Amino acid sequence: MIKKIAILTSGGDAPGMNAAIRAIVKSAHCNNIETYVVKQGYLGLYKGDIVKVNNDDIEHILNLGGTFIFSARFPEFKDIANRKIAKKNLDKLGIDALVVIGGDGSYKGAQKLSELGINSIALPGTIDNDIASTDFTIGFFTAWNTIVNSIAQIRDTMNSHHRIGIVEVMGNKCQDLSFFSGISSDVDYTAMPDEVLTAKDVARIYEISKKNKKNSCLILVTEKTYKNIHEFASKIEKETKVVTRATSLGHIQRGGMPVPMDKYIATMMGNKAVELLIAGKSSRCIGIVNNKFVDYDIERALDQPRTNRTEMVRIINKINR
């Protein structure tokens, strides 16, 4: 029987992580299980920065963006000697289960700890939506909402000056943020990492936008599609003789109060994590598939291919013309 659960957030922060922590703590306490939080992810686990928490400690965090227990990159966790130190830190406190909230790298850490005897469950916390075993990740909806609002504001100023705008969003080569934002925003074209636009391509798109009596042209791109979007904007301006401005939305996409959908997903996943641990399951990750909350073996989840949005993006780009 699980008696003590620890929680950590790892990798990039995502809106809704705090909601997941809150759900885990509250669900655990309903089942008379003590809860602890690990500060700064796997780095904090290695250092032994582990603190006991109660319901009173997490009541205020539902609407907070980011992660109130902090996160950090710790690639050294790949070393089994460091993982064994982390396990000793958990053992000292009698903690027999761990819930990890993060991306695929965080999943791998949870899997490795399971191999050392720590009951581990992973939740998908990343704005990129780049975990194949779930339709949506914690934080994706909030980032998507932020991008759509930002694009509307950028369009306003591009319209005011008859300019071309390039908007770069996060995704780490995953197309989901740009794909979903492109569908729900007034952009003229969504560029993909596997189909890179040239300045001449943008010039043709700009001419189409003029024929459609638009006052500006807006191109949406996923990060890492171009080495430097400001240099790309300069090439477009040289090609079109139209003032072109590039905007990288950057970390604004990670921050802010989570939207209701992210809070819902996080809460349901947090509760399911506790249920799985009580049932004696380990090395599992949780996802939402076809509106149902499911769990997979972590290794199987990591082997699943991501959904390729290329053809769907082509359809949207054709419609937008």
pLDDT at 285 over 90: yes
Architecture of the domain made up of 4-139+258-303: 3-Layer(aba) Sandwich (3.40)
Q: Which range has the worst mean pLDDT, 135-144, 156-165, 204-213, 305-314?
A: 305-314
pLDDT of residue 320: 76
The phi and psi torsions of 309 (rounded to 5 degrees) equal: -95, 5
Task: Tell me if 4-139+258-303 shares its fold with 143-254.
Answer: yes
pLDDT of residue 306: 84
pLDDT at 321 over 80: no
pLDDT at 213 over 90: yes
Return mean pLDDT, the chain. Answer: 96
Share of the chain above pLDDT 70, in %: 100
Identify the three-state secondary structure at position 154. Answer: helix
Which of 104, 179, 96 has its CA nearest to residue 143? 179
Query: Cα(first)–Cα(last) distance of the chain, in Å?
Result: 60
pLDDT tens digits, one per residue of 30-68:
999 999 999 999 999 999 999 999 999 999 999 999 999
Identify the three-state secondary structure at position 94. Answer: coil
Quick one: 27 exposed, middle or buried, by C-beta within 10 A (0-12, 13-18, 19+)? buried
Average pLDDT estimate for 246-265: 97
What residue segments make up the domains of the chain, in order of their start?
4-139+258-303, 143-254
Could you list the active site residues? 128
| Strand blocks (E) in the chain | 4-9, 34-38, 50-53, 97-102, 119-124, 164-169, 189-191, 217-222, 244-248, 284-289, 292-297
- Specify whether the CB–CB gap between 190 and 316 falls below 8 A: yes
pLDDT tens digits, one per residue of 61-106:
999 999 999 999 899 999 999 999 999 999 999 999 999 999 999 9
The phi and psi torsions of 207 (rounded to 5 degrees) equal: -65, -35
User: Which fold, 143-254?
Assistant: Rossmann fold (3.40.50)
Per-residue CA distances from 293 to 119, 273, 304 (Å) = 20, 11, 17
pTM as predicted: 0.96
pLDDT of residue 315: 87
313 pLDDT tier (thresholds 50, 70, 90): confident
Could you give the CA distance from residue 178 to residue 47 in angstroms, rounded to a whole number? 38
Count the Cβ atoms, other than its own, within 10 Å of residue 20.
33
What's at 95, amino acid-wise?
A: I
